[in-house]
Chain A
Amino acid sequence: MTAPAIELQGISKAFGPVQANKDISIRVMPGTIHGIIGENGAGKSTLMSILYGFYKADAGEIFINGQRTEISDSQAAISAGIGMVFQHFKLVQNFTVLENVILGAEDGPMLNASLARARGVLRQLSEEYELSVDPDQLIENLSVGHQQRVEILKALYRQADILILDEPTGVLTPAEADHLFRILDNLRAEGKTIILITHKLREIMEITDTVSVMRRGQMTATVKTRETSPEELAELMVGRKVLLRVDKAPAEIGAPVLQVEGLRHVDSHGVERLKGVSLEVRAGEILGIAGVAGNGQSELLEVLGGYADATGRVLVNGSEIDLTGAKSDGQSRRARGIAHVPEDRQTEGLIMAYTAWENIVFGYHRDPRYQSGMLMNNALIREEAQDKMTRYDVRPPNPQLAARNFSGGNQQKIVLAREIERDPDILLIGQPTRGVDIGAIEFIHQEIVRLRDKGKAILLVSVELDEILSLSDRIAVMFDGQIMGERLPAETDQTELGLLMAGVTERPDKPLIEAVDASLHEKEAREAEQHD
């Protein structure tokens, strides 16, 4: 019997009082794809950081190909044949692909020889695994998908036999994700071992051979992928049965509440991020904006939320609102009945150092009902906070606790409680479940649908296509600052939306990935031009 490519025995790691990993044992056989799934904070990343030498485990042993191995730093990990592709790429933006690949793995003090050798190796690798990238292109001109290929090439160039990928599809269009999986398939066929860390059940089911589930720092189960189901995995992750589908009645759609016409926004670098966006959200409907991160969705929310200037027209209940100047800020938007759950609760939605009760009025703190004379009526605010936290099941329901001491899901519930309980006409909501545990996702989705059923207009922005498909009554796809098209969820599928997300509006006759690559490449070139 062959030895496992990786075997971890009894790995434990604590950060202060937090036990991030507790007695974790795992065996990954060579030539397989092993999925590790778990909620945010379950300890997946810590475990991989130990395997890659970033952290030292408090206890436990690591065996690589049956040999006990001490991995004290990333250099040791690389020489043990481990390569890592991080969620946030570690590439030098103004270096070429080739330069990035040899960085830190040069053969000698003179670069030319290394570059020539690397060019040969790269050509061979890209043919073998469908990993084609132009070796002389600067990283900053590459699409995200191609940058990820460079990361994989870097690992392979260092002769990695074991590849760890941390949430690799977070920033990819579906077609790019499919292509990535084909690359992983090729790598597996060549006998490489792959560990795939993800929170997406669908990906686990699609590509892995075995899957390990982590919960609260512990490995709760390891199962053969074909012997399990998404439902079972979700239950193992959360520790109870969860509803994966959103329960919702057909929408009762009313008059237009939010009308956006020809919205344009230029960022501080002079790059046009919104290129004439027009859309309409009606009462009692959820309009989902699908798209890969960085295609203008964030800017759309910022403009509508009142903290980025724009040109064009925005009408709320038929009357126009200011898009620049003193009457275009979060305060005046709220006064017009626009509530906003921002994409990033930690840097926008909450003041992490503020207590929950201080946060529960954030943005609404000038409301006269919270004032008593010259002072703020903190007693009333605390009372309201307690009430809202109980109703939104925020745990622990302690208004005196600072926001940073709550988990991601509970932080999001605080923001939701604040925004939804204002009974707004329009709710802007960005990435409602990013970094949120599955249990809380169910709750958050129900609250959004409940608000819709009260006849409110909801603009939902999410990079999770599944979320868009299951929540939206209508879907608009955004690419490169424009709306590429609108579809009804019942009349479309992942493939069609995926193509729109890459800016491909018609079904191409060539392979999908080629059309997607070409379109994304054009976009990068346009942006680079504007930047200069």
Chain B
Amino acid sequence: MDKMPAWADAVLVPLISILLAAVLSALVILAIGENPVDAFKLMVEGALMRSAGWGYTLYYTTNFIFTGLCVAVAFHAKMFNIGGEGQAMIGGLGVALVCLFIPFPHWSIALLVATLAAGAFGALWALIPAYLQATRGSHIVITTIMFNFIAAAVLNYVLVNVLRPQGAMDPATAKFPEATQLPTFQDLFATAENPLFRGSPANVTFFLAVLACVAFWFLMWRTKLGYEIRAFGHSESAARYAGISPVRITVVAMLISGGLAGMMALNTTMGEAERLVMNATEGAGFIGIAVALMGRSHPVGIFLAALLFGFLYQGGAELALWTNIPRELITVIQALVILFTGALDNMVRMPLERIFMATRRRNG
């Protein structure tokens, strides 16, 4: 007998977790002498009440959807891919290479090719840890963390020594050609009388991210491969019995995972900076873990969780800009949300389960 209905597991648990995180955050803000209600109002206003705010929120959301899906694929195969950060960095390298060296006639073709490149580079970066896990048993948590550092070092080397334009002081590539620059929401939706999304970085990759959510659902719940990945994740011994190769599933799941992380670079590199810079990922690879946990590794959940974290990022930036609340405290608030939705999940879940079982007993 399941302990509580699916809706409670999917909606109620994360909702209560967020509420608890919010209460604790309010106490922290109160403790440094600021007004939490005002702070919250400011966050909402800055992130959600203006179209430019939405432009930022959705920009961050796009990043988190990709990295959230990346972690979720691995979760379904019972692996913990902490390497989204590194895979996204290397994915960015792929984007930069095709954008810089292939003369594209139109952004749509550029986006298509860059998507393939980003996916392939990210997947390749995940391949080595995956192969080591599958055949040598090297734990994927350890290897992917190490590969984050290697990715940063590789990127550093390439940007400083190879791709940096002559005479530039900045460890970054040259600006991408005009034809590869993706239309932003401003380009798409703003009109002369209604200047929407002004100056905000959200761009067409957001739709790509939404598409990725849909594709993820089909892959996981409608295809043979998804069936096998989930079966392997639930029980390796049963998968072996059924003739599902652990090596194959480990490698394939990690390739998909790395590919999704790589695609995040489309948003930051092609969509926003329009060149490859050192720290383009800004920790989104790690936020992906929280997003996947909170979203229960389901695309709808991941979309909503990514939206929440997008709001926290943008709202947090507003707070830092307009109040005396230091930037570090924004990180604390984000950390609290991660703590409650991820690590302390059982703290909310178990009492809730008990309540549901008690009511069921009374009714039955």
Residues of chain A touching chain B, judged by Cβ–Cβ distance below 8 Å, are 14, 16-18, 305-307, 329-334, 340, 342, 344, 347-354, 358, 362-363, 365-366, 371, 374-376, 378, 402, 405
Contacts and interface: CB of A to CB of B under 8 A. Distances in A.
Interface in B209-226: 218, 222-224
A359 to B, nearest CB: 10
Which of under 10, 10 to 19, 20 to 34, or 35 or more describes the interface residues of B? 20 to 34
Nearest to B356: A16
B240 A307 contact: yes
Contacts of B222: 375-376, 378
A358 B227 contact: yes
A110 B315 CA distance: 65
B240 to A, nearest CB: 4
Nearest to B363: A17
Contact of B245 (A14, A329, A342): A329
B349 to A, nearest CB: 14
B234 A353 contact: yes
A366 B242 CA distance: 10
Given A16-B3, A330-B240, A348-B237, A365 B224 contact: yes
B234 A376 contact: no
Contact of B238 (A17, A349, A402, A405): A349
A349 B228 CA distance: 14
A476 B165 CA distance: 78
B1 A363 contact: no
Contact of B361 (A14, A305, A353): A14
Contacts of B260: none
B1 A352 contact: no
Contact of B242 (A16, A17, A330, A405): A330
Interface of B: 1-3, 218, 222-224, 227-228, 230-231, 234-235, 237-238, 240-245, 357, 360-361, 364
Given A307-B241, A362-B238, A16 B224 contact: no
Nearest to B237: A347
Contacts of B242: 330-331, 362-363, 365
Given A16-B357, A330-B240, A347 B224 contact: no
The main secondary structure of chain B at its interface with chain A is helix
Contacts of A347: 235, 237-238
Contacts of A405: 1-2
Which residue, of B235, B238, B242, B243, has the highest number of chain A Cβ atoms within 10 A? B242
Contacts of B234: 351-354
A347 B238 CA distance: 6
Contacts of B1: 16-18, 405
Given A362-B231, A376-B227, A402-B2, A16 B361 contact: yes
A521 B282 CA distance: 63
A100 B310 CA distance: 58
A358 B218 CA distance: 16
A375 B218 contact: yes
A378 B218 CA distance: 12
Given A329-B245, A402-B2, A371 B240 contact: no
Nearest to A378: B222
B137 to A, nearest CB: 11
24 contacts: A16-B3, A16-B360, A16-B361, A17-B357, A17-B360, A17-B361, A329-B243, A329-B245, A330-B241, A330-B242, A330-B244, A334-B243, A342-B241, A348-B237, A349-B241, A351-B230, A351-B238, A358-B227, A362-B231, A362-B242, A363-B241, A365-B227, A375-B223, A376-B227
Given A18-B1, A329-B243, A333-B243, A376 B224 contact: yes
Contacts of A334: 243
B280 to A, nearest CB: 33
The 4 nearest A-B residue pairs measured at CB: A330-B243, A331-B243, A363-B242, A16-B357
Contacts of A351: 230-231, 234-235, 238
Contacts of B228: 365
Given A17-B364, A350-B238, A371 B243 contact: no
Contacts of B223: 374-376
B361 to A, nearest CB: 5
A195 B3 CA distance: 34
Nearest to A372: B222
Contact of B243 (A14, A307, A350, A358): A307
Contacts of B364: 17
Contacts of B245: 329
A54 to B, nearest CB: 20
Contacts of A363: 241-243
Contacts of A365: 224, 227-228, 242
Contacts of A16: 1, 3, 357, 360-361
A123 B237 CA distance: 45
Nearest to A15: B357
A307 B231 CA distance: 16
A395 to B, nearest CB: 14
B357 A366 contact: no
A279 to B, nearest CB: 21
A213 to B, nearest CB: 25
B238 to A, nearest CB: 5
Nearest to A402: B2
A402 B240 CA distance: 20
